[in-house]
A and B are shown apart, each in its own frame.
Chain A
């Protein structure tokens, strides 16, 4: 478990990060919380010439409220999000999701931006990001660029980020309007704890008790996190009872490029998407009525 030799850079400002990235070129690799990259280095699955550690860049850390959005610096570790009163009261889906990430050690070191930029197909946070419609701010040599979560995740560990860009912050819309509830449910891999399937649901219940709107994010089942738009549309205006929700979820996996492995086949993942989508929607609706 010994990585290949690499140069190590520890910039302290975003400008310095950009400069280091330019200097390192294609052989540079950004290190955030290291929960994925360090194991890859040890296995020599990643052999960067230069490792650029973002750990000392203070301006990439922190949580602030910007109007109706919670803006989280890319290098903010999970545990700080979990401990944020603002996030707890205004964007509980992040709490519900992050609580199920890894274990206490991972949640202490792992970061919001690291998870999203790494884009592990079985990561938890991408499901919440797509369901919430998060806006991801990236910075490169030529300035800033804003990505919508819905087209940020492109393939297995592949995002829309340019190689010269670093993810700097993520803006998550609050879901604290009356009648809105959220939930994240996941089928944990028994070994890794990653999401075999994870479903994030945001449900707004109308005055008539029916579903006014729903946003569903799916992770684990396919190559990247996606929204279950067919289910979202089928649910709108429908009663939030078991039968209607089940019907709406029949095609929950229709937009997912399903993957299979030795633990769960693509068929089973499709089935789990249906089951967990139903349960997540019912739970989000229940939370909305509280």
Chain B
């Protein structure tokens, strides 16, 4: 494709003026006439039987319109389905009701809902609901839940096992048995809270008579919401219109359709009035999905020269109390297939156990399985380098898939489309002044100072992706994308996209892409998203898929528009279509540039249809339905340098260098922003964030005063750079950037801290690397002498 001015240009985000001046339309900004307000009563116990539930006093409070309990939902609101049914496993899908009837399974499990004139009345009435609970034994950790004698959550999931899933290629056992060197380690991926700026919420408006639902929802995928709402609330899909106007972030947490959403719809049906439900932050922490929470045992086999020969992984994933919408696919497919990373490891085996525990359900959180995979292989690579006395750079170079080996089939399944891993590493090393840092590090060590440098060379799989692959993996949906380009009589352009941007800036990048192809001003292109009434279909925004899949669909639709316009131009210019040249928005006859029509003139004629060529229908609107043939595989090299305060254990990040290759870039500023945000979240996981439950299953990091989302003073300047290796299997060359930052970054920080503390013999510290954990690791290492001291995980300390 031609790359001209707009494609690849830093165009300021057109979304920003309204968002930063408070004129965005988030779910809570919709105020409908007669609207009521709903609040949800949630269990204060992590595990209990409900022995009695009395809502009579709450119902009597003036201003209360309805109090809903689990019994009211029978036959009206179905349980939340699991939408990723992983094959070749013993997956159990216990019922996940919107309101519990007799058994609550996590702190925050919904028990009743109050609908009232004002939020304050609803909140007061909630305090009047009388519930008696009989507390049951609690289990919050995966391995304890899978152990014999553990408290049982679901009758239909014996031993709390949600699934055991396996993947293997080649002979990992043999490779490990015969290896010259085997490095073994256990890693804890702590539980995280997604923390979208806008908490979840819904405004539901049921029109009795018409029997139609309008639902304003903060979601990443309004069409999936339409489908799930249809299934859960028993409303025909064609009677539901879902709006997702401005959505204040999601990070995966707004993929699912939740019980609270279904209750809002039901409350509107019961009361005959519009109903609004908006989480407060505490409710968001309890009731919106969490991320990660996985323990892995890893064995990496190698030759003495550093060549990696085999890999075996056992992963234990905490699914929470119920299976959230996409949950089973995250620690299996999205994790396991990419674990070998950038390296030529073919003998590979992975077993994953998912367990039910008395905790908030987990699901996709930015990166979804791939950060866990990249962390694991990149930490193991450093551990192997340490074992062999090799430099972390050398061991990576030795094992990289060479640039001339693409397309490359890794571990028997994924076919990496394109890559040049040496290229991004070389650039990052140069930016970070690797050799200079190593010299300075030695000098500072003489002074008792601990500086370290950490590498992360990653590849990820995104641009989700071929629908047949989704089907083969048990994902209960497709992953294609539609696009419609409509040229109006005035020459203005409407773009309909099924993706649902919620911070990624596609109103701008898609307009750039279309303006570039059609040769119109970017200001004349409007991108419409988040309205199932206007947009035929869409699978949403997640998995770094919007621009690679939805953008390619838009690109294909522009070509159809040009093709049709060319026929009309030929007719008007009295030439053969094959003799018409389209350039920068103008059609002209080959060799006669003066005989021309602008695309706006063609659009006007197409809409008037006064003089159309024979067989060409009126209008200038074309659609494309794009289903890619493969995933995309962005990659890169991140380097972090740190200094550790030996007295307090505090980690200070000195520099952070991110060299990414995300294929062809539409808008460099927006891509940089995606990297900045992703790296901030990855640093958050490495140093600060941890959702902690106590023994009784109480979330003790239940607010932003306890759970540390890093603020700007806790994040360094991220020095970004790129190489550009186009995606070979789509028309745009775009790969996707939404998740690279989180996938690449946590291990760069941890590798740097471990490198800093390597003189003490420290080999690993589990995340988050809080000052106390680092200090304790240093204390333990000092008392153990400098021989070896690896810190085991200390979850919940």
Contact = CB atoms under 8 A, between A and B. Distances in A.
Given A192-B705, A271-B775, A262 B796 contact: yes
Contacts of A4: 124
A4 B714 CA distance: 36
Q: Name, among A44, A264, A268, the residue most crowded by chain B CB atoms within 10 Å (CB to CB).
A: A268
A17 B331 CA distance: 60
Given A1-B280, A43-B282, A190-B710, A263 B772 contact: yes
Contacts of A2: 119-120, 123-124
B227 interface: no
Given A2-B123, A262-B700, A275-B648, A268 B708 contact: no
Contacts of B705: 189, 191-192, 194
B647 interface: yes
B133 interface: no
A268 B706 contact: no
Interface string B704-722: 1111111000100000000
A245 to B, nearest CB: 13
A44 B709 CA distance: 24
A187 interface: yes
A98 interface: no
A161 B711 CA distance: 37
A127 interface: no
Nearest to B779: A271
A4 B121 CA distance: 9
Contacts of B650: 187
A189 to B, nearest CB: 8
Bin chain B's interface residue count: 20 to 34
Interface string B483-516: 0000000000000000000000000000000000
B692 interface: yes
Contacts of A191: 688, 701, 704-709
A2 B797 CA distance: 33
Interface residues of A, number: 20
Interface in A254-268: 262-265, 268
B423 interface: no
Nearest to B123: A2
A262 B692 contact: yes
A200 interface: no
A272 interface: yes
A187 B305 CA distance: 45
B120 A272 contact: no
B387 to A, nearest CB: 31
Interface in A21-71: 43-44
Contacts of B714: 190
B471 interface: no
A258 B583 CA distance: 75
**Which secondary structure characterizes the binding site on chain A?**
loop
A272 B770 CA distance: 13
A275 B645 CA distance: 11
B124 A264 contact: no
**Which secondary structure characterizes the binding site on chain B?**
loop
A189 B776 CA distance: 18
Contacts of B692: 262
B435 to A, nearest CB: 33
Contacts of A263: 706, 770, 772
A262 B648 contact: no
Q: Name, among A44, A190, A265, the residue most crowded by chain B CB atoms within 10 Å (CB to CB).
A: A190
A190 B708 contact: yes
Contacts of B771: 187, 264, 268
A268 B775 contact: yes
Interface in A235-290: 262-265, 268, 271-272, 275
A5 B127 CA distance: 13
Nearest to A271: B775
Given A262-B700, A263-B772, A265-B797, A192 B706 contact: yes
Nearest to A3: B120
Nearest to B649: A268
A190 B776 CA distance: 18
Contacts of A271: 775
A5 B707 CA distance: 29
A2 B771 CA distance: 36
Nearest to B701: A262
A190 B709 CA distance: 8
Nearest to B282: A43
B657 to A, nearest CB: 23
Contacts of B119: 2
A44 B772 CA distance: 32
A191 B775 CA distance: 19
A274 to B, nearest CB: 9
A192 B704 CA distance: 7
Contacts of A194: 705
Nearest to A272: B648
Contacts of B797: 262, 265
A276 B701 CA distance: 26
Contacts of A43: 282
A252 to B, nearest CB: 13
Nearest to B693: A262
Interface in B655-709: 687-688, 690, 692, 700-701, 704-709
Contacts of B282: 43
A43 B692 CA distance: 20
Given A190-B688, A262-B796, A275 B120 contact: no
Contacts of A1: 280-281
A97 B540 CA distance: 49
Nearest to B710: A190
Contacts of A275: 647-648
A211 B434 CA distance: 45
A192 B703 CA distance: 9
Q: Name, among A5, A192, A262, A272, the residue most crowded by chain B CB atoms within 10 Å (CB to CB).
A: A262
A4 B772 CA distance: 39
A225 B708 CA distance: 24
Interface string B767-788: 0001110011000000000000
Contacts of B127: 44
A257 to B, nearest CB: 19
Q: Name, among A1, A189, A194, A264, the residue most crowded by chain B CB atoms within 10 Å (CB to CB).
A: A1
B115 to A, nearest CB: 15
B772 A264 contact: yes
Contacts of B709: 191
Nearest to A39: B705
A229 B204 CA distance: 63
A265 B775 CA distance: 12
Contact of B706 (A5, A262, A264, A272): A262
Contacts of A192: 704-706
Contacts of B700: 262
A12 B709 CA distance: 40
Interface string A3-25: 01100000000000000000000
A51 to B, nearest CB: 15
Interface string B111-128: 000000001100110010
A208 B281 CA distance: 57
A5 B125 CA distance: 12
A256 to B, nearest CB: 17
A156 B280 CA distance: 27
A185 to B, nearest CB: 11
A79 B687 CA distance: 31
A1 B39 CA distance: 11
A112 to B, nearest CB: 22
Nearest to B39: A2
For the complex of A and B, the 7 pairs showing the least CB-CB separation, nearest first, are A191-B708, A190-B708, A192-B705, A268-B772, A2-B120, A2-B123, A1-B280
Given A190-B770, A271-B775, 10 more contacts: A2-B123, A4-B124, A5-B120, A44-B127, A190-B688, A191-B701, A191-B704, A262-B706, A262-B796, A263-B770
18 contacts: A2-B120, A2-B123, A2-B124, A4-B124, A187-B650, A190-B688, A190-B770, A191-B688, A191-B707, A191-B708, A191-B709, A194-B705, A262-B700, A263-B706, A264-B772, A265-B797, A268-B776, A275-B648
